[in-house]
Amino acid sequence: MDEMARTPRRRLGRLQSAGVITEAATELFLRNGYLGTSMDEIAALAGVSKQTVYTHFADKERLFTELVRGNTGPADEFVEVMTGLLDASDDVERDLHDLSRRYARSVIEPRVLQLRRLVIGEAGRFPELARAYYERVPERVIASLAGCLGRLAERGLLRLEDPLLAATHLVALILWTPLDRGMFVADGGVPAAAELDRLADAGVDVFLAAYGRA
């Protein structure tokens, strides 16, 4: 009976240590890059033994891969919010402004920008991982946005013939300036929330000038 009671606690302990290791690895990889981070440093920051790290992750490459793949959840959540908002929209201008502000704030965020820099910087070493991240995050968001815009056009709320091209235009109008700056300027490169909102609103206005219902 005692052994049966201990088993769930052991499983919980393993799950907790995996979480602590992942958090430590994330901090170090984002700060120092892949080559600048060692398993010894990860173990030390996590407060566990190096053997415990290897119990959960076979090697640094596996840990790095799982870390990047595990950071695609926010994109899934955003796609869900976007689909719900636009598919139920009865005021396209209002809802596109709302969505665009949320989108800009979710992408132009220090930790997200750090992860993008990390994935891009290691794309030569991990080409398949970089491709998977691209497909599961930016490409998926644009494809889902294209579907939403296409359905709005079918309802007569937008004028467009190529939903994917229209989605690409909208994303570029919203993100080009702040994302470019944020990726290259590590310190002070992220605009204030008010400036992000202003850029997002201006992008939507230009988009609706081209694709809005006459």
pLDDT average, residue stretch 100-129: 95
Query: Rounded CA gap, 155 and 3, in Å?
Result: 62
- Please report, for the domain that includes residue 195, its CATH number: 1.10.357.10
Q: Within this chain, do residues 122 and 47 fall inside the same structural domain, yes or no?
A: no
Q: Within this chain, do residues 80 and 183 fall inside the same structural domain, yes or no?
A: yes
12's tokens: 């919980």
Q: Within this chain, do residues 97 and 179 fall inside the same structural domain, yes or no?
A: yes
Query: Rounded CA gap, 120 and 107, in Å?
Result: 15
160's tokens: 């467009």
Min mean pLDDT across 6-10, 122-126, 200-204, 205-209 is at 6-10
Q: Within this chain, do residues 105 and 180 fall inside the same structural domain, yes or no?
A: yes
pLDDT of 134 strictly over 80: yes
pLDDT average, residue stretch 71-80: 91
194's tokens: 């008010």
Domain boundary among 13, 29, 60: 60
pLDDT of 43 strictly over 70: yes
pLDDT average, residue stretch 57-67: 94
Q: Within this chain, do residues 88 and 51 fall inside the same structural domain, yes or no?
A: no
Q: Within this chain, do residues 14 and 98 fall inside the same structural domain, yes or no?
A: no
If one compares 73 and 152, the residue with the highest pLDDT of the two is 152
Cβ-based burial of 93 (10 A; exposed 0-12, middle 13-18, buried ≥19) = middle
Domain extent for 31:
2-60
Mean pLDDT score of the chain, rounded to an integer? 91
Query: Rounded CA gap, 181 and 171, in Å?
Result: 15
pLDDT average, residue stretch 74-102: 96
Query: Rounded CA gap, 202 and 50, in Å?
Result: 51
Query: Rounded CA gap, 187 and 189, in Å?
Result: 5
- Other CB atoms within a 10 A radius of the CB of residue 60 amount to 18
Cβ neighbours for 78, distance < 8 A, ≥ 6 positions apart: 102, 103, 106, 141
Q: Within this chain, do residues 124 and 193 fall inside the same structural domain, yes or no?
A: yes
pLDDT average, residue stretch 45-62: 94
In percent, the amount of the chain with pLDDT more than 90 equals 84
List C-alpha distances in Å: 131 to 72, 120, 139: 13, 10, 10
Domain boundary among 60, 87, 110: 60
pLDDT average, residue stretch 50-73: 92
196 within domain boundaries: yes
pLDDT average, residue stretch 17-30: 92
- Name the domain count of the chain: 2
9 within domain boundaries: yes
CB 158 within 8 A of CB 152: yes
pLDDT of 8 strictly over 50: no
Classify residue 159 by its DSSP letter: -
67 within domain boundaries: no
pLDDT average, residue stretch 5-25: 65
94 within domain boundaries: yes
For residue 2, name the pLDDT band (cuts at 50, 70, 90).
low
For residue 73, name the pLDDT band (cuts at 50, 70, 90).
confident
- Please report, for the domain that includes residue 35, its CATH number: 1.10.10.60
Q: Within this chain, do residues 93 and 21 fall inside the same structural domain, yes or no?
A: no
177 within domain boundaries: yes
Query: Rounded CA gap, 36 and 118, in Å?
Result: 12
